[in-house]
């Protein structure tokens, strides 16, 4: 049975911009009957739901979120099993699904009756015709939450994230790593991550400078008595080595006419911006998602995102 038209009428109210896109798509891959009698589908070799019991799999996903006290934002519409279970098991929680893959949305609408899900006042779907539209809707949801929003990922849907959505991928990975900060470092890092989301999604990774560094000696310049003592040496070396400057040292180097090849700012505290009260150096800024946003905003030159390798709070984001 095809549920597309019924779902189409339901989604008109919550995501009218989707209708024109979905109407232009070819039919999705055929549905696969599971052992429980429900359906699943494969996209690009990825099984979107269990081939045994998709509904039970959806309940298990929802039960893992039972401690949520605010809203839940999920990357992944999937075939809707997990979202239906979230709304059922958490009757006081609003659920938002973010989905970039139009082929996946089409498959869900053809093969499952999701009209009750789409009509539920506690459910909303965020999507868009491109990453810019999707990111705007996603940012609005995160910003409107006031910080009381649990971020989770539906793994099969996430594996089907289309190419060209690297900013969304980075944003979700960053938000997931942020969940570790609350218990260990208080609220400052959490606030910084949320304010830095725009910069995170639009910055290249720190590996962009690796090629320039390869095979060259490097100097890490930090503030302290040794910096004052070695400024003449750094002046002589600046065309011969790669100079990486901590934000605390950048002003001293600039005053001495020494050009660094990159600056690094990792301090989550607002006082770190004091090092950039003068014009920031015209070198790339390497920053963490937790770097204080005033530093990131002040730096108008190229920005490169970094995370601490093997550090538990960044473990989920290391691959970036």
Coil vs helix vs strand at 39? strand
Per-residue tokens: 281: 């150096």
In angstroms, the CA 141 to CA 260 distance is: 39
3-state helix, strand, coil in the chain (%, to 5): 50, 15, 40
pTM, 2 dp: 0.60
Distances (CA, A) of 160 to 106, 131, 154, 260: 13, 14, 10, 41
Per-residue tokens: 116: 């009750």
Per-residue tokens: 243: 């100079």
To which residue do tokens 């709304």 refer? Answer: 87
For 30, which DSSP code? P
One pLDDT digit (tens) per residue for the chain, 320 residues: 789 999 988 887 667 778 888 888 888 999 999 999 999 999 999 999 999 999 999 999 999 888 777 789 999 999 999 999 999 999 989 999 999 999 999 999 999 999 999 999 999 999 988 898 888 888 888 777 666 778 899 999 999 999 989 888 888 877 776 555 454 445 677 788 888 888 888 898 888 888 888 888 999 998 877 888 888 888 898 888 999 998 888 878 888 888 888 999 888 877 777 766 566 667 889 999 888 898 898 887 889 998 876 555 566 555 55
């Amino acid at each position: 049975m095809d549920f597309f038209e019924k779902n189409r009428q339901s989604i008109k109210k919550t995501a009218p911009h989707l209708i024109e896109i979905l109407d232009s798509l070819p039919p999705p891959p055929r549905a696969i009957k599971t052992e429980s009698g429900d359906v699943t589908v494969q996209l690009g070799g990825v099984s979107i739901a269990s081939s045994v019991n998709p509904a039970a799999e959806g309940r298990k996903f929802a039960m893992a979120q039972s401690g949520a006290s605010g809203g839940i934002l999920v990357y992944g519409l999937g075939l809707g099993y997990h979202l239906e279970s979230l709304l059922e098991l958490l009757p006081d929680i609003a659920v938002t699904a973010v989905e970039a893959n139009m082929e996946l949305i089409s498959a869900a609408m053809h093969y499952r009756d999701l009209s009750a899900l789409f009509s539920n006042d506690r459910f909303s779907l965020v999507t868009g015709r491109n990453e810019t539209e999707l990111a705007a809707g996603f940012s609005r949801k995160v910003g409107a939450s006031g910080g009381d929003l649990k971020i989770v990922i539906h793994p099969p849907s996430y594996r089907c994230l289309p190419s060209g959505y690297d900013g969304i991928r980075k944003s979700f990975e960053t938000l997931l790593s942020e969940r570790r900060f609350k218990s260990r470092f208080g609220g400052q890092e959490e606030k910084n991550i949320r304010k830095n989301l725009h910069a995170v999604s639009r910055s290249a990774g720190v590996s962009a400078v690796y090629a320039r560094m390869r095979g060259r000696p490097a100097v890490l310049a930090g503030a302290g008595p040794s910096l004052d003592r070695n400024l003449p040496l750094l002046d002589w070396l600046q065309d011969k080595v790669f100079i990486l400057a901590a934000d605390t040292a950048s002003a001293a180097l600039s005053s001495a006419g020494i050009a660094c090849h990159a600056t690094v700012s990792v301090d989550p505290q607002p006082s770190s911006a004091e090092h950039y009260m003068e014009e920031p150096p015209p070198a790339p800024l390497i920053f963490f998602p937790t770097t204080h946003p005033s530093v990131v905003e002040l730096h108008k030159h190229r920005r490169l995102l970094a995370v601490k390798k093997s550090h538990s709070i960044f473990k989920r984001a290391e691959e970036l």
